[in-house]
Structure 1
Amino acid sequence: MTTPIIEIREVSKKYDDGLPALDGLSLTVRAGEALAVLGPSGSGKSTLLNLIAGLDRPTDGSVTVAGVRVDQLSEAGSARYRREKVGMVFQFFNLLDDLTVLDNVLLPAQLLGMGRAEARARAAELLEHLGIARHERAYPGRLSGGERQRVAVARALMNRPALLLADEPTGALDTASGADVRQLLADLNADGQTILLVTHDLALAEACASRTIELVDGRIARDNLAGMR
């Protein structure tokens, strides 16, 4: 059996006195899977992503990612975990507009303390692999949406994360750029990268996911183990 990257056991998350955002959810994601999390607004998708990223803690249950009990980490431990184990891609890119493409991509390595020569070699490798090496000295504002998302993916992969998290990665893109990013994520998974993506984009799930789950009211209503590709 392939080693689990994510192990979530009986996780619940409650806010104030309302209905739980997650309600006794259990989930295992194995290395090499590309999991798409679908569901209507308010179903718990973003909460699940935040718990896996160590940005929030469950009310009950446990979250283990790449052997790390994420729900037990301190604030400093959570930040270190995100630097070392997880890469994150967001709907609106979250690039720093006053840094060049290269400097945006180098930032995670600098935070991790990677040597300068090693970091620059890794960045050059990623920019070439993702087809944006010619833009390394450009600023993000001069790039198309699809190119900016490729920069964001390069930044997320800089520290060779065990898990790539993507939150609506095509949500801010036009049709052509969205198709470009869908193919990029599918290619990364084909190369062995474990991916968990949260999306409303069924085309993205169909193109990228080897497995899909659908959340309804904080529970898994459907788990397509056979995959969609």
Structure 2
Amino acid sequence: MEDPLIELSDVGRAYDDGPPALRKAALRVWPGEAVAVLGPSGSGKSTLLNLIAGLDRPGTGTVTVDGVRVDRLSEAAAARFRRTRIGMVFQFFNLLDDLTVTDNVTLPALLAGTARGAAHRRAAELLETLGIDRHARAHPGRLSGGERQRVAIARALMNRPPLILADEPTGALDTAAGEDVGRLLRELNSEGQTVVVVTHDLALARSCTHRTVRIADGRIVDGRVAGDVGAGVSR
């Protein structure tokens, strides 16, 4: 049987003296799935994403991604792991305004040791696929929000990672641009890309994922196939 791409077991995380951000969280995400993590602000969904990405460590439990115990990685090893195995898309794009679109997209590949020529060929392919090749020499500040998020998605795909993590990817976009990004994530998943989207936007979750996971007060309280109230998370 195929192993899960993401597996969290009995994961807890607390900060200072406040209530736990996560409590005994358990989650499996399988290769090729598109999963939305839903919950209000402060529910623990961003903590969950940061633990999967190796940006944070659990106080209890284990986090395994693509066969690697990311909770055991050093900070430097976690950064190397993210560079090749996880593509990240953020609400506010996190692009470097002093670099061109092409330079932003190629940066992860160059940091991973890819030859510059190969990186530029890959970037040109991605920008054409995502419909923004005409902006290759532009700087991000000249683009619309939707175009900048497409650049961020191209950057996330640069090293062909098995997993895309998107943190509120439409939160800074207008409705039309948000629907466009949702459609793009759905298309990527239809081609086999595993996608986990952290959002409070139920419409986005329904448009681009198969399964929703709900978090409340640090606990995973519900999981279901999108659009099917009675379905569970087991596989």
Normalising to structure 1: TM-score of the pair? Answer: 0.97
| CA 228–126 in structure 1, closer or farther in 2 if over 3 Å, else same | farther
Instruction: Determine the C-alpha separation between the residues in 2 that align with 1:97 and 1:135.
Output: 13
Instruction: Determine the C-alpha separation between the residues in 1 that align with 2:3 and 2:118.
Output: 28
Letter in 2 for 1:141: G
Instruction: Determine the C-alpha separation between the residues in 2 that align with 1:135 and 1:228.
Output: 37
- What corresponds to 2:109 in structure 1? 109
- What corresponds to 1:58 in structure 2? 58
Instruction: Determine the C-alpha separation between the residues in 2 that align with 1:105 and 1:40.
Output: 31
1:149-199 CA deviation, whole Å, 9 max, x = no partner? 000000011001111000000000011111110101110111111011100
Q: Which ranges in structure 1 are unaligned for 5 or more consecutive residues?
A: none
Letter in 2 for 1:228: G
SS at match of 1:169: coil
Comparing 15-24 with 205-214, greater Cα deviation is found at 15-24
- What corresponds to 1:169 in structure 2? 169
Are 2:201 and 1:228 aligned? no
- What corresponds to 2:91 in structure 1? 91
Q: Which ranges in structure 2 are unaligned for 5 or more consecutive residues?
A: 229-235
The 5-angstrom pairing of residues 10-21 of structure 1 reads 10-21=10-21
Instruction: Determine the C-alpha separation between the residues in 2 that align with 1:128 and 1:223.
Output: 36
Are 2:53 and 1:44 aligned? no
Deviation at 1:118, TM superposition (A): 1.6
Deviation at 1:3, TM superposition (A): 3.2
1:79-101 CA deviation, whole Å, 9 max, x = no partner? 10110110000000010111110
Deviation at 1:34, TM superposition (A): 0.6
Letter in 2 for 1:91: Q
Instruction: Determine the C-alpha separation between the residues in 1 that align with 2:192 and 2:16.
Output: 40
- What corresponds to 2:32 in structure 1? 32
Letter in 1 for 2:212: T
SS at match of 1:105: helix
Deviation at 1:227, TM superposition (A): 2.7
Letter in 1 for 2:4: P
Q: Contact 1:32–1:189 at 8 Å: present in 2 too?
A: yes
Give the superposed CA RMSD: 1.1
Deviation at 1:33, TM superposition (A): 0.5
Q: Contact 1:209–1:228 at 8 Å: present in 2 too?
A: no
The 5-angstrom pairing of residues 202-213 of structure 1 reads 202-213=202-213
- What corresponds to 1:124 in structure 2? 124
Instruction: Determine the C-alpha separation between the residues in 1 that align with 2:187 and 2:3.
Output: 21
Instruction: Determine the C-alpha separation between the residues in 2 that align with 1:14 and 1:98.
Output: 37
Normalising to structure 2: TM-score of the pair? Answer: 0.95
Q: Contact 1:164–1:194 at 8 Å: present in 2 too?
A: yes
Runs of 4+ deviating beyond 2 Å? 226-229
